[in-house]
Structure 1
Amino acid sequence: MMRSLKFAMLGMLTLFVVACTAPIMQVESQPFPDETQNLSMDQLQDAIIKAASSREWTVKKLSTGKLMATYAPRDHLAKVEIDFSQQEFSILYADSTNLKYNGGTIHKNYNRWVNNLKVDIQREVAAMIAATS
């Protein structure tokens, strides 16, 4: 009886862990609007940093067109590399702590954070285009 209970508990724990993870989201070559060609790389960088900062990501410039963004709520940490040009941007997994990353899957909150960042970048770049038109 105890053995059955142990197996049942192990099965429930496994289901819980699997339910909390999802395939890792990579935003690759997300196109900017054509009007982004009228913005400088510095303006694009400023828009991306503003978008990330509004969600409490800290951003460090690595080089022209390349940023490292870190989000650290509670005891979790997510790091992404943001590559961008005047045509497109990508948000790629770099590192994490306490997010159940195993090479192909990660805690589903990570995907929500990255999706929010993607949408915010698109919104901020559109606002910058509108402000310069």
Structure 2
Amino acid sequence: MKIASLLSGIVCVVALAGCASKTAPVQNVDAAIAGQYTESQVKNAILSAGLARKWVMAPVAPGVITGHVERQGHSADIRINYTAARYTINYVNSQNLLAANGVIHRNYNRWVNNLNRDIQLKISAQNIQ
């Protein structure tokens, strides 16, 4: 009887831990750009990184790009503001990502972190060319 109770307790703890770890606080990015680049170079790096990550990127105003991504029935929208010296990636909206009260499915943060890393790589690659 004690073993059955112990096992059911462990199963409950594991189930609750699995549910709790699906969400995390929404991560927005505020990144400084090291080096001297033009606003056009930063824009091109953002668009190129987004395309490589399968984001639909659209310049909507000077210094502003919107991004949209869809993955397996989930979607997210972001807004990227940029200058020659820095850029920000901000959450706008999502579907099926458990977004509420400042938290979201952890996959969103992974998508944005991957996009941010690729933007940094695209910017720095312009020094090599």
Shorter-normalised TM-score: what interval? 0.7 to 0.9
Q: Does 1:80 align with 2:78?
A: yes
Q: Give the aligned partner of residue 21 of structure 1.
A: 23
Identity of matched residues, %: 29
Instruction: Report the CA distance between 1:14 and its aligned residue.
Output: 5.3
What are the within-5 Å matches in structure 2 for residues 1-133 of structure 1? 15-28=17-30, 30-36=31-37, 39=38, 41-131=39-129
Instruction: Report the CA distance between 1:19 and its aligned residue.
Output: 1.4
Instruction: Report the CA distance between 1:12 and its aligned residue.
Output: 7.0
TM-score after normalising by structure 1: 0.82
> Would the aligned equivalents of 1:35 and 1:129 in 2 still touch at CA under 8 Å?
no
Q: SS at the partner of 1:34?
A: coil
Instruction: Report the CA distance between 1:34 and its aligned residue.
Output: 2.4
Number of residue pairs matched? 120
**Residue ranges of structure 1 left out of the alignment (5+ in a row):** 1-7
> Would the aligned equivalents of 1:81 and 1:92 in 2 still touch at CA under 8 Å?
yes
| Distance of aligned partners of 1:101 and 1:13 in 2 relative to their CA distance in 1, 3 Å threshold | farther
Counterpart code for 1:48: I
Detail structure 1 runs of 4+ shifted over 4 Å in the superposition.
8-15
Q: Distance in 1 between matches of 2:101 and 2:109?
A: 14
Q: Distance in 2 between matches of 1:95 and 1:81?
A: 10
Deviations 1:29-53 (A, max 9, x none): x1001222xx2x2222111100111
CA RMSD of the aligned region, Å? 1.9
TM-score after normalising by structure 2: 0.84
Counterpart code for 2:36: E
Q: Give the aligned partner of residue 4 of structure 1.
A: none
Q: Distance in 1 between matches of 2:101 and 2:66?
A: 19
| Distance of aligned partners of 1:89 and 1:56 in 2 relative to their CA distance in 1, 3 Å threshold | same
| Distance of aligned partners of 1:59 and 1:104 in 2 relative to their CA distance in 1, 3 Å threshold | same
